[in-house]
Each structure stands twice: as C-alpha cells, then as structure tokens.
Amino acid sequence: MNAIIRRSPSRSLVESLYNPVGFMDEFESLARQTWESWEPAIYRTGMMTNLDMYEEKDELVIKVELPGVKKEETEISLEEDVLTIKAEKKGEELTEDTKIYCHERWYGTTCRSIRLPFQVDGEKITAKLEEGQLHIRLPKAEEAKPKHIEIQAT
C-alpha cells in the first residue's frame, strides 16, 4: 500500500508562525527590501509669510516673519492702498553627488500683497529688518486722520 502525503499551503503558513525565528527572518527580509529602496520625499511648498497688522496711535504697524532673509533680498512697494513685500532666501550650493536625507527649510522667492485699511503717507514709511522680523511703520495720511469738528452754538 502506498501513501501519498501532500503538504497543504495553509499548513506551511501555520508552521512558519510556530517557528518564530524563521518568521522574523522573512519579515526582516521583506522590511529590508522595502526600506532599502525608499527615497525621502522632498516637498517644495515655498514660504508663507506670516504677518501681524495693527493700528497704533496715528500709524499702521506691520510685522512680517522672514527668517534667514537678508535686507538686500527684501523689497517693499506701495501702490495706492496695496503694500507688497517680496523676499528671496537663497539656499546653499550643493554638488550633484550630494544625497539629501531631509529637506524641510524653504528657499526661494515669496511675495505678499496686503490691502491697507486706510490711506498712509508714503513719504514717511519706515522699515527695519532685525532677527528675522520685518517691522514696517506706515503713518496715516492727513486725510485719513480723524478730524475734530467744533460745534457752534446759536
């Protein structure tokens, strides 16, 4: 009498679970194949300039975050009631054989335009860049300042 023994595919899976060393070797091999071919993703989203704008006495104050930007790389312009801030942050020169593992800092050009809530005196605007913050002071135009109207009694 001849006996035919067949190995069930489901049984080999169960057997591999009962052999933790073999199972872990297979898992490690699969993980190594997956992660060795992985390349880090590089997202180039650019910079979003965050700013605060508030009124103080007779002037408008705008503070803009521009970390790592130099004064020479920044431009401010005023056209009617729109203030535009342009800045460029230059990156480091990397060679072609440089392999990047993580790239989170931004480089490039950013531009932000904002409509002003009232007329300003364009001749008296001041701007100062210090420690990554741009401080802009825009004095109100005489036409925008509140007028005191005297009441006459009759």
- Residues 59, 133 within the same domain: yes
pLDDT of residue 44: 46
More confident residue, 30 or 134: 134
Q: What is the pLDDT of residues 30-88, one digit of tens each?
A: 777 777 766 555 444 556 678 999 999 889 999 999 988 899 999 999 998 999 999 99
Domain count, the chain: 2
Residue 55 lies in a domain: yes
- Residues 34, 70 within the same domain: no
- Residues 34, 98 within the same domain: no
Residue 64 lies in a domain: yes
- Residues 29, 56 within the same domain: no
Q: Which of 72-81, 84-93, 103-112 has the highest mean pLDDT?
A: 72-81
Residue 45 lies in a domain: no
| Mean confidence (pLDDT) of the chain | 80
- Residues 58, 101 within the same domain: yes
pLDDT of residue 3: 58
- Residues 65, 135 within the same domain: yes
Residue 122 lies in a domain: yes
Give the chain as a 3 state SS string: CCCCCCCCHHHHHHHHHHCHHHHHHHHHHHHHHHHHCCCCCCCCCCCCCCEEEEEECCEEEEEEECCCCCHHHEEEEEECCEEEEEEEECCCCCCCCCCCCCCCCCCEEEEEEEECCCCECHHHCEEEEECCEEEEEEEECCCCCCCCCCCCCC
List the domain range (segments joined by +) for residue 13.
9-38
Residue 153 lies in a domain: no
pTM attached to this predicted model: 0.61
